[in-house]
Amino acid sequence: MSAPAPPAGSGPVLVVGASLAGATVAVTLREAGFAGEVMLLGAENALPYERPALRKQYLTGRVSVEALLVQPASYYSDNRITLRLGESAVSLDPGRRLVRLTCGEQLPYGTLIIATGASNVRPPIPGIDLQGVHQLRTLADADDLLSAVTGARTAVTVGMGFIGCEVTATLTDLGLVVTAVDGGPGPLWGPLGPELSAVARGWHEQHGVRVLTGQGVTAFLPDATGSAVAAVEVAGGERLPADLVVVGVGARPNTGWLSGAPLDLLAGAIDVDTDGRTNLPGVYAVGDVTITRDQRTGTHRRHEHWASAIAQGRRTARLIAGLPPERPEPAYFWSDQYDKTLQYSGAHDADSHLVVRGDLSRPDEPVTAFFLRNGTVTAVLAVNDGKQFRRAQRLLGLSPNPTDLTDPAVDLRPLAQPAPALPG
C-alpha cells in the first residue's frame, strides 16, 4: 500500500501551535502513514507537553518535565517532523498560503492546521503586576509558581473554575493556608450546577480552605517594598493575607494573529465542523482555539479539555491523511481535587434535569449523577467511582426510567441494552 500523497499546495502540512492538539496532529499524520512534509511551529521553547498535570502532580513534584511530554525530542527527528520552537505566527495570507512569523519569515503551506490554543484572561485589577501574583497556563508559569511556593505560608486563589479549584487543592496539600475567592455563587457553578457545586465547595472547606463566593477582587495590595503582593482586597473592604496569589478567571482563544484573514470566528474562537474544517480551503483548526459546530443540532460548543484536544487532533489528521474518521466520542474531562476524582462525559445546560445516585450530603461516599433533557441522558458525572462512570457513559442518548437511575440496587448495565424485539 503506497503512502498518501502530500496535499495540494506548494508547501508542507504546517501546524501552527505546538500544543497537545497540534502535536497530536503531527504524530497522528505519521502514524497514519502520511509521507509529506510536516512542520510543527510553537511559541514556547519547550517541546509539546500536556498541561493538566501542571496544576497538580507537577507542582507537588510527583511528575517530571519528561513525563509531561507528548513525545521525546527524538520522536520528531526520527519521524521527519520539523520542529520550529520559540517562534510565533503573526499573520495568515490564505490566498498565497503563507504564514508570517515575528521574525519576518514567511512559511508556505499546502495544508494549515491552527492549534494556537488559548491564553489566560488577565483582569484589569490594580496590583496584578505585583511580584507574587501568578497565572498558570504554561510550563514556565508552573515553574515560577513552584519557586514562589517555597517559603510561602498563605495563598489566595482568584476564580474557582477547574484550574482554580485544582490549584487551591494543590496549594492546600502543600501546606499553605488558602483562601479561595470567586465572583460567582459557588465553585464550578457553571459546569456543574448548584447541587454539585455545593459538593465541590464541601471538599475545599473540609480541608480548611476558606471559600468566599459572590465577591469580586478589588485590588492586590503591596508589601512595604511596594513591589510584592501582601494581601488581596475583596468587595466590602476585607483584606486577605497572601504571600502568593493565583488568578484563574478564564481563557480566551489565541486568534489575534488571524485578524487580517477572512476566517469565520464565533465568540472569539475559530468556527469549525466536527472534522476541524474552517471556512477557508486547506485550513483546519483544533483544540482550545476552536468552537465546534454540530451540523446535526445546529449548536456550537467549546471543549477546552485534554481528551478533546487529542480527539480533535486525531480526527483532523486522519482526514488529511485520507483515512476514514474515527467514531466521535462524547466530550470527556476529569478533575483531581484532594482525594476526589471527578469524571464527566457528554454535555448539559441550565435546562437539564439532574438525577443523582448516591447521597450528596455524604461527601466521602461515591456519587453518580445524570443530566437529562426531555427524558434523555445527555451527560453523566461520577466522583470516585470509575466503574459506575463507565457504565453510566453507555446510557448517553438513551431514555431510561429516572427511578432506576437513582436506585443503587439497580444495575446500570441492563439499562444500556436495546429492548428485545417483539415477536412478529
CB atoms within 10 A of CB 167: 27
Please determine, looking at this structure, whether the domain spanning 339-415 carries the CATH number 3.30.390.30. Answer: yes
Residue with the larger pLDDT of the pair 297 and 146 = 146
What is the 8-class DSSP label of residue 131?
B
Residue 399 phi/psi, 5° resolution?
Answer: -125, 70
The pLDDT tens digits of the residues spanning 76-94 come to: 999 999 999 999 999 999 9
Same fold, 133-249 and 339-415: no
Judge whether residue 64 has pLDDT over 50: yes
What is the 8-class DSSP label of residue 52?
G
| Cell (9 digits) for 423 | 415477536
Which ranges constitute the DSSP H helices of 211-305? Answer: none
pLDDT value at residue 294: 65
> What is the CATH architecture assignment of 133-249?
3-Layer(bba) Sandwich (3.50)
pLDDT value at residue 332: 85
CA dihedral 181, 340, 69, 84 (to 10 degrees): -30
Judge whether residue 4 has pLDDT over 70: no
- The secondary element (H helix, E strand) that includes residue 233 is strand 229-234
CA atoms of 210 and 190, how far apart (whole Å): 20
Judge whether residue 340 has pLDDT over 60: yes
pLDDT value at residue 331: 80
Place 300 in a pLDDT band, splitting at 50, 70 and 90. low
Percent of the chain clearing pLDDT 90 (strictly above) = 83
pLDDT value at residue 261: 96
Residues 176-187: what's their mean pLDDT? 97
Residues 294-322: what's their mean pLDDT? 81
CA atoms of 397 and 131, how far apart (whole Å): 49
CA atoms of 223 and 225, how far apart (whole Å): 5
Average pLDDT score, the chain: 92
239-241 vs 229-234, strand pairing mode: antiparallel
Place 2 in a pLDDT band, splitting at 50, 70 and 90. very low
pLDDT value at residue 9: 46
8 A C-beta contact, residue 400 and residue 421? no
The pLDDT tens digits of the residues spanning 228-271 come to: 999 999 998 999 999 999 999 999 999 999 998 999 999 999 99
- The CA R_g of the chain, rounded to the nearest whole Å, is 23
Percent of the chain clearing pLDDT 70 (strictly above) = 94
CA atoms of 35 and 201, how far apart (whole Å): 51
Residue 149: which of 160, 136, 138, 162 has the closest Cα? 136
**Under CATH, which number does the domain 13-119+252-320 receive?**
3.50.50.60
Per-domain residue ranges for the chain? 13-119+252-320, 133-249, 339-415
Place 24 in a pLDDT band, splitting at 50, 70 and 90. very high
Residues 207-213: what's their mean pLDDT? 97
CA atoms of 170 and 95, how far apart (whole Å): 48
- Adjacent-strand bridge partners of 357: 368
- The secondary element (H helix, E strand) that includes residue 232 is strand 229-234
Whole-number Cα distances in Å, 160 to 188, 239, 344, 385? 6, 19, 17, 23
